[in-house]
Structure formats: structure tokens, C-alpha cells
Amino acid sequence: MRRRAFLTRSAPGHIIESVKNRPFGGERKPVKAGNNMELKEAVAKLKETQRVMHAYNHAMGVMYYDIETAAPKNAIEGFSNTMATLSEITYKLSVNEENFALLDYLSEHAGELDEITRREVEEAQKGLRLLRNIPIEEYVEYQRVQSEASAVWHEAKVNNDYAMFEPHLKKLVEFTIRFAKYAAPEKDPYDYWLNEFEEGFTQDVLDKYFARIKEALVPLIHRISEKQQPDDSFIYKFYPVEKQRELSEKLMEMMGIDRACCAIGETEHPFTTGFNKRDLRITTHYYENALTYSMYSVIHEGGHATYEMGNCDELMDSPLSGGASCGMHESQSRFYENIIGRSRAFCGLVLPVIKEIFPEQLEGVDEEKFYRAVNKAEPSLVRTEADELTYSLHVLIRYEIEKKLMHGELDTKDLPAEWNRLYKEYLGVDVPSDKEGCLQDSHWSGGSFGYFPSYSLGSAYGAQILRAMQKELDVEKLVAEGNIPAVTDWLREHIHKYGQIKKPAELIRICCGEDFDPEYYISYLTEKFGRLYGLED
């Protein structure tokens, strides 16, 4: 999981209460907006604001990493207070008339700006579109509702009590629809939110995308579920944490990750965060009785980190550093985790390394057996634990539900029933409790509707990128030889270096020479799992 997106989004969150109070901080020179403003001066002002914003985001990011990895338990109250104070300050730094005037002026002169600055202005405008158009009282109220909903969701999940959460979810849905109308009255609300998370994507595109997913994968998964599953029992032997830490080091080395730029921490849920291309942090979680959990977490998070480390130097402290979108970020982490990390070639490469650390546990396990075990495909209940094949069906279910919620076609009261129905229909599983069902993800409780599709798009991007890469590189051979850095070089040149300069759809065109096309993903999965489960006939 890539955390920065969430963090930035929620930054203005908890603290908006005081928006109408007297502002504080250094004095501010009146800004001359409009025609007589020198363009050069305006750009300098933009860069200066960005520099200061970067410092705040950096500090808050480190605090977040610290609270997850190092802080003692009781640090949480002080942490929340300080995050609230700093978030309030950054909120005021961007949400003010002076900044609006500056951005409007720069937008009017977009043609005279260099590409990076132009995109910075565009992204800043995008980030403020909602906040500029929303009555402040309503926004403050929303923050309150959202914060309450998050707290209630945590409790509801623990207690498996959807009814407790439902009224809060209902309010969030109403706010979400209304806010879309404030920001973009001309748009369908779900289209507005989809575009917020994955620019350029609408229901038109996603309906077709998910229709293909459903059409191709549901029957495939059905056929596979009738086949014999591989023996993966060796994964669940005893693997001491200390030794797994050694494996993490080896994996990062194999990925060519420069440890001078990337640290590894330990948290309940693995994630990646970073403050600039020379300071990335990935985390993992070690389970003594599940070898591959941490292993693939490290590869996945290492993929996120590799993306950001590959940004061009010009983006060092720019708000355009990082990834093009959530979907594009997931495309890279999943590329390393699944397309590389669960490939036959990589399994052959990594097994001897793992065996050196765990010779006893892996006695009698050969490359083929390892490859089959780490690719076991089986319908399940929880998205974050789903395998490569079934993953997108979890997302599809959420997409269909969100769409109905955003159009008033599904009452929040009926959500669990609809959820369970879809899990049965698409994945063939019975959902035993809402805890493992519609309460499993935090996204809705945080007010994020339209975020889920980017998870699936990430996988689909990856498959298309693989095909483009294969035209220039013998990927399988490189991986088998242990030359993953050659793969990374290609990705850096075609994707990573751009950061957020290019939008996701544009990036796919640059990288693949054509528009986004889900067929690559469908055929990738069909071929891989067809072979694995002997469905070639």
C-alpha cells in the first residue's frame, strides 16, 4: 500500500474547525494578482509556497512513519494534536484567496510556463477545485462526520456490527454526492470522484473494463476452482523472524534497491512512504508461520519505493514527485510483486537464496513446486489477501456497489446483502460476517468513493507495460539471470522518471505507444493461470 496519497488527502481533515478563526503565522505581503503581476514573480511565489508545503508534508510524513514504526503507544495523543496543528497551517497556506489568485493567474498564462510548472499549477488547481467551491461550514461539518465515521468503523469492524456504522456511511455518501456537485456541477458525481483518483477515467471506460474482467475471469476462476490445488503447506512452517529479516535484505539487494535511499521498518500493515527520491521507507510485517507474507510485501513495497527513487532529479522536492496516480503506483508495486516476483523465472532465481537461509524448512521444495505454491489461486473473502487472479473481482464488486451508492440506487441499509450476493455470484464464496465482508476496508469510512478501481487498473497497466517491455527486452531471461535492475532501468526511462508530470493515460501512451487496453491483462491472466492449472485445452 502506498500511504502518501491518503495522508495528503486527509491532511486538511481533523483541523478545519478553526478555519474561521484568526489566522496566525508570519505576516504576508499583499499579492498583486492579475495582469500587472509579473509572471516571473508569480512563478517564484508558487515555488516558494511549494517549498514550504514540502517541508510541512515532509515533517508530517516522518511523524506518520514514526508513529507507525517507532513511537511508544501513548504518543498517539500528542501526535494527533501536532498533526492537527500542522495540517491546519498547511490548509491555510493553500486555501486562501491570495493563493487562488496566484493559481488563476498562472493558469491563464499556462502557455508561457515550462512543462513542470504548468503541471504543478494544474495539480494545485485540481487539489483546490473542491475546497474553493464548498461552503466552509459544510466542509467543517464534513470533517467532523468523517472523523466520527472512521472511529465508529473501527469499532464496528471489531464488533462485526454494520448497523452501528450504517448511519455514518449514509451521511458520508450524501456528502460525497453533494460535494461532487459543488466541484463539478456538470458531471455525474461518480465520474467526478473517479477522475479525482485516476485522472481520465470515467464510468464509460470502467464499465467496459470491468465488463471484460467479469466476462473473462468469472468463468476462468470457476474452472480453476474445480482443479486440484498445489501443495503450499511448506509456506506455513516455522520461519524465525530474525531470519526473515535477512531474507528482506537479500530481496532488496536482488531488486537493486539502494539502501542509502530506502530504509525498511516493521508495522502491522506493510506500506511505503517517502519524502523525496533519496528518502523512501518501506515496511513489512513478519509472521513466523507464513514465509511468503513478508517476502511479497517487501517486493511489493520495494516496487513502490523503486518508482519514486526513479523520479528525475528536477522533481526532487516538487509536488509532482512520486507517482502519476494511485493506479500507476499500484501498477509498479504489483509489477514487481506479481509479474516479476511470481514469475517462473524469479521463483527459480529466489529459491536458492531462500533455501540458504531456511534449508530445513524448504527441503524437497523445487522451483516448480515453489512457483505453483506462490501462485495458488483461490476465491477468498478479503481483498488485501487475494491472489493475483481473483484480485480484480474484489475490486469489481466494490465498483458496482459504489456506482449504485453514488446514484442513489442502493440504500446503505441494503449494502451487506448486496455485498454478499456479489461475492457469491462472482467469487462463489459465502460471506460469513460483515467484518470479513463489507466492513473489511477503511476507504468508505474515510469518505473515499472511487478509489478502489485504481487498484485493479494498476494490475491492468502492469500487464500492458509488460508487453511493451517485452518488445525491447527479454524480460524472462533478464529475471532468470538476476538482472532485475535492467527491468528497473526500462521502467525508470518509460515511467518512473516522469513522476506526476504525465497523467496516467498519457503515460500508458508514452510507454506502450497506444491507449490503455485491458485485453493485455485478460490475456496475461488467462495464459498464466491457464498454464498453471492445466487449462490449455
**Interacting residues toward its own copies by CB under 8 A:** 22-29, 48-49, 51-52, 54-56, 58-60, 62-63, 65-66, 69-75, 77-79, 81-82, 85-86, 89, 92-93, 96, 242, 258-263, 265, 275-276, 278-281, 317
| CA gap 12, 295 in Å, rounded | 35
Whether residue 302 contacts residue 271, with contact meaning beta carbons closer than 8 Å, is answered with no
Considering beta carbons, is residue 4 or 502 the nearer one to its own copies?
4
Dihedral (Cα; 336, 337, 338, 341), 10-degree rounding: 80
Whether residue 226 contacts residue 268, with contact meaning beta carbons closer than 8 Å, is answered with no
Considering the complex, what minimum distance in angstroms separates the CB of residue 55 from its own copies?
4
- Return all residues near 197 (Cβ < 8 A) that are at least 6 apart: 325, 326, 327, 448, 450, 451, 453, 454
Considering beta carbons, is residue 24 or 409 the nearer one to its own copies?
24
Considering beta carbons, is residue 72 or 364 the nearer one to its own copies?
72
Strands 279-284 and 272-276: antiparallel
Whether residue 487 contacts residue 306, with contact meaning beta carbons closer than 8 Å, is answered with no
Greatest CA span in the chain, whole angstroms?
Answer: 77
Considering the complex, what minimum distance in angstroms separates the CB of residue 496 from its own copies?
17
Considering the complex, what minimum distance in angstroms separates the CB of residue 313 from its own copies?
12
Annotated active-site residue 301? The verdict is yes
Considering the complex, what minimum distance in angstroms separates the CB of residue 269 from its own copies?
18
Give a three-class secondary structure readout of 87-99. HHHHHHHHCCHHH
Considering beta carbons, is residue 47 or 497 the nearer one to its own copies?
47
Compute the Cα dihedral for 518, 522, 525, 527 and give only its sign: negative
Considering the complex, what minimum distance in angstroms separates the CB of residue 91 from its own copies?
10
Considering the complex, what minimum distance in angstroms separates the CB of residue 287 from its own copies?
20
Considering the complex, what minimum distance in angstroms separates the CB of residue 311 from its own copies?
13
Considering beta carbons, is residue 118 or 278 the nearer one to its own copies?
278
User: Catalytic one among 301, 330, 400, 402?
Assistant: 301
Nearest to 392 by CA among 210, 134, 518: 210
Within 443-518, where are the H helices?
Answer: 452-472, 475-480, 484-494, 504-512
Whether residue 279 contacts residue 310, with contact meaning beta carbons closer than 8 Å, is answered with no
Dihedral (Cα; 484, 486, 488, 493), 10-degree rounding: -170
Whether residue 117 contacts residue 140, with contact meaning beta carbons closer than 8 Å, is answered with no
Considering beta carbons, is residue 4 or 394 the nearer one to its own copies?
4
Residue listed under C-alpha cell 473473502: 381
Considering beta carbons, is residue 30 or 135 the nearer one to its own copies?
30
Residues with catalytic annotation? Answer: 301
